[in-house]
Amino acid sequence: MNIMIITGASRGIGAATARLAVARGYAVCLNYRAQADAAHQLARELTDSGGRAITVQADVSIEADVLRMFETVDRELGRVTALINNAGMLESQMPVTSMSAERIARVFNINVIGPFLCAREAVKRMSTRRGGQGGSIVNVSSMAARLGSPNEYVDYAAAKGAIDTLTVGLAKEVAAEGIRVNAVRPGLIYTDMHASGGEPGRIERLKDSVPLKRGGQPEEVANAILWLASNEASYTTGTFIDVSGGR
């Protein structure tokens, strides 16, 4: 059975990815940090539809939590075959001159250290050199890595730039072990994350700057994630799909 871990799966892109993954036959681990009700409700929805889903609370920036999450999946589902590094966060919009060291550390802990730790544990289980059957890692980056998010989230953009580098470097490192590593870079997507930055209507303000003249839906990103995770992308590694409306 194909077994997928989705970090930050309680809402937005993560939840859309979980629904599509179950529809395509994956058993899924829905990771969440704080939104337990949403994660459990999604798990019930997926199991009621005939799928297999478990929820695991874990803060991916904490090593012990990541270890516990992977051990839980080992025990309850089996050895992971696909990891979706989706968990992420941003803080209030501000220029770099107003950012504290504590804020920058929080952003990098979740957006960079978390994916590194999860990728490390996934590789240990997927690697054909370690007795695994291979697998796929898909990192959820952001167009911010290319655009920089000036006056808003340069720290978040820089963290996603680190994820782009992780994608390229790890892909080369583990290609001979049966593991593919790719990333999607969403653009302006209708999710709750914009409210976290203090501007729930950010997409409406900016959508006219997108060549397609609209914001994207989480399901549109999920489709790209599932393609990269699947055998249809068997000769694709170390690469990116920009789901950004041409921006």
Determine the Cα–Cα distance for residues 195 and 201; give it in Å rounded to an integer: 8
Determine the Cα–Cα distance for residues 43 and 10; give it in Å rounded to an integer: 9
Determine the Cα–Cα distance for residues 45 and 111; give it in Å rounded to an integer: 28
Integer CA distances (angstroms), 77 to 31, 112, 137, 201, in order = 14, 26, 18, 39
Residue 128, C-beta contacts closer than 8 angstroms, at least 6 positions apart = 134, 177, 178
Determine the Cα–Cα distance for residues 62 and 103; give it in Å rounded to an integer: 17
Determine the Cα–Cα distance for residues 72 and 113; give it in Å rounded to an integer: 20
156 assigned to active site: yes
Residue 87 near residue 136, CB atoms below 8 Å? no
Active-site residue, selected from the candidate residues 26, 32, 153, 156: 156
Query: For the chain, how big is the Rg over CA atoms in Å?
Result: 17
Up-side HSE of residue 180: CA atoms within 13 Å toward CB? Answer: 19
Single-letter residue type at 88: G
Residues with catalytic roles = 156
